């Protein structure tokens, strides 16, 4: 009986691998904040390593992101992240929306709510120093 249950589990795990779970990634569009000519290099590099995977359309996936059921969980986070704040769509935001996102960003980066802790467990280069947090905040406050 135990063997049968294990077999069923293995089959389920194999089948769910075929369910698409990760949102698509596309090249950085013109509307992206990341391709602006006046984007300072240090800000770009912080955004790239700590925010991009969840807050742009150019997410890169580590191998384990493709493994279900982990892929469902990661896919949901990225979809939610992109919906709330998307660097690739930045120039399409109305001025009022930009101002609101900047306010949220400053608060979340200051309070260390972003990047999400569960992300920095696996991406140690996304752990931000106080100095890096200040660089990010100063930049967004200057926009
Ligand atoms: C692992 C994915 C992930 C990473 C990495 C991440 N975020 Fe988020 N972020 C989210 C999710 C999911 C939400 C929406 C839910 C919430 O507010 O917790 C969010 C919300 C936000 C919001 C709020 C937008 C709003 O309107 O409420 C801002 C601003 C933000 N993130 C900025 C950042 C910045 C800046 C970084 C990098 C320093 C970052 N995030 C890194 C997933 C992520």
Give the pLDDT of residue 83. 97
84 CB near ligand 1 (under 6 Å): yes
Give the pLDDT of residue 2. 85
* Both tokens assigned to 53: 């995977």
Structural domain harbouring 44: 2-142
CB 87 within 8 A of CB 52: yes
Closest residue by Cα to atom 30, ligand 1, is 105
127 CB near ligand 1 (under 6 Å): no
Distance of CA 54 to the CA centre of its chain: 1
CB 112 within 8 A of CB 134: no
* pLDDT profile of the chain (143 residues), mean per 10: 91 95 93 93 96 96 95 97 97 97 98 97 96 98 94
Give the pLDDT of residue 134. 98
Number of structural domains the chain divides into: 1
Model's pTM, two decimal places? Answer: 0.94
* Both tokens assigned to 99: 């101002």
Q: Which residue has the tokens 């904040």?
A: 33
């Amino acid at each position: 009986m135990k063997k049968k249950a294990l077999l069923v589990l293995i089959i389920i795990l194999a089948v769910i691998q075929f369910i698409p779970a990760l949102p698509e990634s596309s090249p950085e569009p013109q509307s992206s904040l990341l391709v602006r000519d006046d984007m300072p290099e240090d800000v770009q590099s912080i955004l790239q390593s700590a925010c991009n995977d969840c807050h742009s359309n150019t997410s890169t996936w580590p191998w384990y992101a493709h493994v279900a059921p982990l892929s469902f969980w990661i896919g949901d986070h990225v979809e939610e992240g992109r919906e709330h704040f998307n660097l690739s769509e930045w120039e399409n935001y109305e001025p009022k929306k930009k101002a609101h996102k900047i306010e949220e960003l400053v608060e979340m980066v200051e309070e260390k709510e972003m990047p999400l802790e569960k992300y920095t467990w696996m991406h140690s280069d996304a752990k931000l120093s106080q100095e890096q947090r200040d660089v990010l905040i100063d930049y967004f406050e200057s926009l």
